[in-house]
Amino acid sequence: MVSIYLVLIVLAVILIQKWLSNYMKIRKILETVPGPKQYPLIGIAPLMMGVPPEDRLAVFNDLCYQFKNGMFLIWFGTQPVINIRKPHQIEKILTSTTIIKKSRFYNFVKPWLGEGLITTTGTRWFNHRRLITPAFHFGVLGEYSAVMRENVQALIELIDKECNRNPKAPINIFDIIGRYTLDTICETAMGVSVNAIQQPDNEYCQALHNITRLFTERVFRFWLASDFIYNKTPSGKQFRKAVKIMHKFTEKVIMDKHRERAEKKISGVTEIEEDNVYGKRKPKAFLDLLLDASENADSPLSLEELREEVDTFMFAGQDTTAMGICNALFALGNAPEIQEKVYQEMKEVIGDSDEVATASQLGQLKFLDRVIKEALRIYPSAPSIGRCTEHDIVIDGHLIPKGTSISLNIYQAHHDPESWPDPETFDPDRFLPENSKGRHIYSYFPFSAGPRNCIGKKFAYLELKTVLTAILRKWKVSSVLKPSEMKMVANITLRPANEKIELYFTPHNNYL
């Protein structure tokens, strides 16, 4: 027995020595990359530990602009992260066909998303991307638009109810918009409703909220990077419980869809016949389109693969879109002149009808396009994205070894005064063709870019425009806080630290 213990101790010592040797080797290679004061094994922890969550973005901003070349190194414990924000640096990563693996932080959501489109790489990513792309074709967006139009009516009714309750009080849109986007993403992803607008406390809504909250907490606690350690903590147990709820819900929906499709095949009922019998056909969800594509593929997707891609759609499309809408309304609530121009454009294109704008009408709102682009510049829904080098690369003369995480800091790139003069000013005309001339294409990338760009970009724009037009045609909004007073945190999404965006809603004359 003693000899077994000795062998185990020797093996442990050998493994620790090997790990420590590799750690010191990487530190030696990266010592030329500038960065703040850090410590062996614990990295930047002493600097960040005492910083309240609501101040982390400001501290990180200071770090970003402290290093003028736009590149610096921080260590999360023993894990190095190269931070970049300059367009030529961003371009080198995003245009690469070999640096497409996501950084290690994405592993924290793998228990939920598995090997879905966001987290997977290599051949599997390529095959799934090719299979899923048709589900976001422009012609298919009409299927999703029908759901958005229906749910936005419920959103308007909810805001109306809040306004009538106390006409002079501001409304916190953070929670309301989040509930709308959850209903919409569930119906567009799976074809079912969780009725979050009416029942925000249901089990599925709470599980989704807990997953995103716990993920963010884990990122800033380097000692929880190990799955073995994290799974034994109260937070880890909460995370696994939430994942189980989410998986159970999605798998039930998929099994119901399989059963429904099988019954239709047996009965021989076609979509055309279904229209004739039941009236207008229910819009197809992402899951329906995925099942159609999968059945015609050489290798149909398994239940697990289907669940992973549907959950990925949920992860990528709910909170990001909600914050895009909230932040755009916040920006407009602080820019009455720009808001008035949006209103006048809508009157010209849509008229005084109280019907939700059609896709054709939305396409004609060119000034609103620029407003959304500028809102996503100042408040990008995803403040950063991560990659992991799969081979040694050189950036600005610095060798970055294989296996190093690289953070592409979208928020800081969008606020860099070299690319965006007076960057804190909300000015949609920055995106006029004549004002965009000469600007580096990679100075703006709210939906990423290159081979791993956001597949749902058109979906997000459609939902942003659908909601903004529905609200701004009925009400004039004004913000309680100014941009300088709003503390933001850079979690999975860029969001207010106190989860409040309070706006006053004043009806336009034609709605009085």
Residue ranges per structural domain of the chain: 32-511
Determine the 3-state secondary structure of 475 from DSSP: strand
Cα within 13 Å of Cα(306), Cβ side: 27
Q: Residue 78: which residues within 8 A CB-CB, separation 6 or more?
A: 23, 41, 43
Whether residue 210 contacts residue 239, with contact meaning beta carbons closer than 8 Å, is answered with: yes
Residues linked to residue 506 through DSSP beta bridges, in sequence order: 476
Return d(Cα 272, Cα 184) in angstroms, integer: 25
Report the first-to-last Cα separation within the chain, whole angstroms: 86
Angle at 76 between CA 55 and CA 376, to 5 degrees: 50
Note down pLDDT in tens along the chain; length 512 residues: 667 777 778 787 788 788 787 888 888 899 999 988 887 877 787 777 778 888 888 888 888 888 888 999 998 888 899 999 999 999 999 999 888 888 888 888 889 998 988 888 888 888 888 888 888 887 778 888 888 988 999 999 999 999 988 888 999 999 899 989 989 988 888 888 888 888 777 788 888 888 888 887 887 777 888 888 899 999 999 999 999 999 999 999 999 888 888 887 777 655 554 554 444 556 788 888 888 888 877 778 888 989 999 999 888 888 899 999 999 999 999 999 999 999 999 999 998 877 888 888 999 999 999 999 999 999 999 999 999 999 999 999 999 999 999 999 999 999 999 999 999 999 999 999 999 999 999 999 999 999 889 888 999 999 999 999 999 999 999 999 999 999 998 888 899 988 899 999 999 875 43
What is the value of pTM for the model shown?
Answer: 0.91
Q: Which positions ≥6 away from 500 have C-beta within 8 Å? A: 172, 174
For β-strands 79-84 and 405-409, DSSP reports them as parallel
Q: Report helix, strand or coil for 299.
A: coil
Q: Which helix (H) or strand (E) holds 408?
A: strand 405-409
Q: Which of 309, 284, 293 has the alpha carbon at shortest distance from 191?
A: 284
In this structure, what token pair is assigned to residue 89?
């640096």
Rounded to whole angstroms, the Cα distance separating 238 from 231 reads 9
The widest CA-to-CA distance across the chain, in whole angstroms, is 87
**What stretches of 77-197 adopt beta strand conformation (E)?**
79-84, 171-172
- 394 Cβ contact partners less than 8 Å away, ≥ 6 residues apart: 400
Q: What residues are paired with 502 via a beta bridge?
A: 172
Judge whether 74 and 38 are in contact, CB under 8 Å: yes
Centroid of chain to Cα 280: 33
CATH fold of 32-511: Cytochrome p450 (1.10.630)
